[in-house]
A and B are shown apart, each in its own frame.
Chain A
Amino acid sequence: MESEKLGFYPGCTLEGSSSGYAESMLKVFDLLKIPIKELDDWSCCGASSAHALDHELHLALNLRNLALAEKQDFKELLAPCAACYHRLISTNNEFYLDNALLASLNKQTGLNYQGKVKVRNILDFLIHQVGIEKIENQVAHSLSSLKIACYYGCLNTRIPRLLPFDKVEYPESMDQIIKALGAETAEWSYKTECCGAGLGITAEDISNKLVSKILLDATAKEVDCIVVACPMCHVNLDTRQDKIIQQFDIPKEIPIYYITQLMGLAFGIEEQFLGIKQNFMPALQI
C-alpha cells in the first residue's frame, strides 16, 4: 500500500456526533494495513449551508482543505462523510474545468492549489482500492446470520458525471462489501432515497416522515439492521428512531450501523473499539 499518500478528512461530524464512524474506520484500516493520516489544520467544508448561500465561499473553504492536502503530500484525500466528499469532489472538479477560477481562489486563500489531489469516497475506496478479496480474507466472524439493508442515501453515489464509481440510482458497492462479510443484503426500494439530511435539525417533521418510509420498507424486507456510510443518514435514521417508530407505527426497532462498524465486527474487532455504544438504537448480538 502506498504509504503517506492517503489523507483523512474527518469533517465536523466524524469528530463529533459520528465519532464512532471515525473510530471504527481507523481500526478497520489499521487491520487492513492501510496507512491513513488525518489532514493537518483542516477546516469546515461548508456542507450544510455555505454552498447554498455563497458558492464562492464554499469553493474557497474546500480549496483550502485541498491545498493543504496537496501541501502535506497527500495524493488522495478520503472523506468518509458523504456531504464532505460531495463538497470536496465538486470543488475539485470545478477547478479542473476552470483555471481562472482556480487562480482567483488561490489568491483568496493565499494557498497555491495545483489540482493534484484526488478525493475519494469511502465506498469507492473500499471497493476499488482495498478490494473485495482483501475484505473477504479479513473476515473472522462471518455475519452470515444477518440480513442487512444497505442505505446509501442521496450523496454517496452522486454526482454521476463526477467520477461515478457505482450505479447512481441503484448502487451495489456497499452491498458487495456486506456480502463479503458473509451477510445477506436486501433488495429494497429505498437505497438512495432522501433522509432529509440537514432538515433533521431545521424541519424535523419532514425528515422524520422521510425516514419513516425508509424504516418501513426495511422492516418489510425483514432486515436485522441498516448499514450507512454517511453521518447525516446515521443521525436521521438512528437518533430519533424511537420517536419515529411511535409516530409512524413502525413494527420494530432497527439498529443503524456504519459500514466500518460492521466490517470491524466481522473482522473480529471488539465492540468497544468500534464506537457502537454511541449508536442510539440497541446493537445486535453479533
Chain B
Amino acid sequence: MIYLELLWSFIQIGVASIGGGYASIPLIQAQVVDAHSWLTMTQFADITTIAEMTPGPIAINAATFVGIQVAGVPGALVATFGCILPSCIIVMTLAWFYYRFRGLSMVQNVLSFLRSTVVAMIASAAISLVILAFYGSRQLPSDLGSINPVSAVIFLASFIVLRKWKLNPIYVMLISGALAIMLHCIFGI
C-alpha cells in the first residue's frame, strides 16, 4: 500500500530530523532514494536544488515532490502529513509545558540562558547566508574579492532600510528580487 509506505517513511523523516534544514537531507535521501527508490539520485539532487529556490522547509518540499511523483496529489498530502505529524505532537506537548511552567524561577533562569544560545545560532545562520549570497557557496572562498557586486549592493541597501526605517522584511525581499531582475535585464549582470 503506497500511501502507508509514504506516510511511514515521512513520519520517520519527521522524527529523526533534529536541527532542521540541511541535517535532514541525508535522512530524506536514505528513505526516498536508498530504501524505496522513489526518486533517482539525479531527481533527488534536483529536488534539493529546487527546495533551496522555493520557500518552505526542505522536508515539506521533498514530501510534496516525492508524493506527487509516486502517487499524485493524494500521495503528496499523505507524505506531507506524515512529515509534520511528529512535530505537531511533540511541539504541542512542549508548548503546554512551557506555558504551564515558565513562571517558575528555575525555568525562567534556564530560558534566559537558552535565549543566549538562540541568538548565537541565528547569528551563525546569518553569517552562512551572507557567505552564500556573496559568493554562491557555503564555504568562504580563498579569493575574497570574487564577491558578487549585485548581491553586495542589495545586501547593504536592505540592511540600511531594515535598520533605519524598520520596513517589513517581506517588502524588502520582494523589492530586492525585482531589483535583481531589473539590473539583469538592463545591464546583463
Same complex origin of A and B: no
